[in-house]
Amino acid sequence: MLFTKNTYIAAFLCVALLPLTLLYYIAVSIRHFLYDSGLKSSYRPEIFTISIGNITVGGTGKTPTVISLVNSMTKRGLTSLVVTGGYGRKSKGRVILNISTQVTESGDEPLTIYRKTKSEVVCDKNRTSAIKDLSDNYDAVVLDDAFQHRAVKKHLDIVLIDENRFLGNRLLLPSGILRDKISRLRYSDVIILSKVKDINSASVKEKISYLKKFGKRILISKLDYSYISDGKLKTGLKDISGLSISLFCGIGDPDDFFGIFNSFKIVYSRIFPDHCSYSESELAVLNKIKNDSDILITTYKDFVKIPPDIVKELNIRYLEIDLKFYDETHSEFDLSDLIMR
């Protein structure tokens, strides 16, 4: 096995941060004990409530999964209210998104969900209050990133674990990537192995075998992509194969996005911080890399934060993605089947 300098640094930091990880473990355990023992109460909504969450930090594909679930429900005639905390927004209190909502008011992920689903989306850190006040006229409530939000008792808890990082070194923050204990998977209803590249791979079989021990329904999600878009027109990926392309994004786990374009002529790749706001300094970087590029490509989550005039000037496109879901037999699965039973 080849050990690099970065490997040794990572190992050193992991060990050095163990005292903080122990404190985090204690805090998480106490919080769960308070809810499990009834010392802290949870609100059980009358309306069917679904959570899309994870137990790791970074991108596991929660936002695309919320979008897929909501759109699947819409096709079956079910209306849904999406409730999210609105991470990264500069506004306070409750924000109900509409066509004029700016990304600074809502945050990038809620705005992405709203524009991709046309469903009702509300940002409110007090999710209990939002459900009580706004859910009467809907068939279901979808909570974004709410597996750890135990103030609301959900009817269906869906937990995403991405194939590439999986559970990391099995340690909680900050020594590892876990934001919750692995044992909490027993309290989920469905586990989705997300961002899978090859559903038939040995890696997927191994991870599915491990997850089966928690006794939950297991699904697989795979990225489906073939187009880029400027928000109006779509262009097939095969039609840009001869162009000089620059890639950029500010998401939790950018490797999968960049990996999609491995066979293309990439002249520049730039990773910005997660939830990057694209201020003048970031736009200056994009303007610079445009000089050597025919086209700039990013994610939709980043695209919504860039002014339309800059999009046009720099010839920016976003990758149009969808998710395909499979059950353990590798048969395609419709997420709305989870609630229509």
The tens digit of pLDDT for each residue in 5-35 reads: 678 888 989 999 999 999 999 999 999 999 9
Say what the pLDDT of residue 2 is: 46
Q: Given a cut of 50, is residue 152 above it in pLDDT?
A: yes
The stretches of 184-299 forming alpha helices (DSSP H) are 202-211, 255-259, 280-290
One domain for residues 299 and 333: no
Residue 259, domain member (yes or no)? yes
Residue 255, domain member (yes or no)? yes
Residues 174-208: tens digit of each pLDDT? 999 999 999 999 999 999 999 999 999 999 999 99
Q: Given a cut of 60, is residue 209 above it in pLDDT?
A: yes
One domain for residues 268 and 328: no
When pLDDT is averaged across residues 311-336 and rounded to a whole number, the result is 96
Could you tell me the CA-to-CA distances from 56 to 88, 159, 239, 308 in Å, in that order?
18, 10, 37, 34
On average, the pLDDT of the chain sits at 95
Percent of the chain with pLDDT over 90: 92
Residues 92-105: tens digit of each pLDDT? 999 999 999 999 99
One domain for residues 28 and 103: no
CATH of residue 175: 3.40.50
Say what the pLDDT of residue 251 is: 93
One domain for residues 170 and 257: no
Cβ–Cβ < 8 Å for 249, 271: yes
Q: Residues with Cβ < 8 Å from 251, sequence gap 6 or more? A: 59, 257, 274, 299, 301, 302
Residues 292-318: tens digit of each pLDDT? 999 999 999 999 999 999 999 999 999
Give the structural domain span for 297: 225-322
One domain for residues 67 and 170: yes
One domain for residues 282 and 330: no
Q: Given a cut of 90, is residue 88 above it in pLDDT?
A: no
Residue 174, domain member (yes or no)? yes
One domain for residues 315 and 328: no
Say what the pLDDT of residue 10 is: 86
Nearest to 50 by CA among 157, 129, 131: 157
β-bridge partners, 235: 228
One domain for residues 159 and 299: no
Say what the pLDDT of residue 1 is: 44
Say what the pLDDT of residue 24 is: 98
When pLDDT is averaged across residues 79-85 and rounded to a whole number, the result is 97
Residue 189, domain member (yes or no)? yes
One domain for residues 247 and 282: yes
Fill in the amino acid letter for 62.
K
Tokens of 39: 């010392």
Say what the pLDDT of residue 253 is: 85
| Three-state secondary-structure class, residue 171 | coil
One domain for residues 62 and 115: yes
Q: Within a 10 A sphere around the Cβ of 255, how many other Cβ atoms?
A: 12
One domain for residues 129 and 149: yes
Nearest to 13 by CA among 177, 164, 162: 177
Residues 126-141: tens digit of each pLDDT? 999 999 999 999 999 9
Strand pairing of 316-326 and 217-229?
A: antiparallel
CA distance 88 to 277: 9
Residue 314, domain member (yes or no)? yes
Query: How many structural domains is the chain composed of?
Result: 3
Q: How many helices (H) and strands (E) does the chain have?
A: 11, 14
One domain for residues 176 and 276: no
Residue 269: burial class (beta carbons within 10 Å; 0-12, 13-18, 19+): middle
CA distance 86 to 102: 12
Say what the pLDDT of residue 7 is: 81
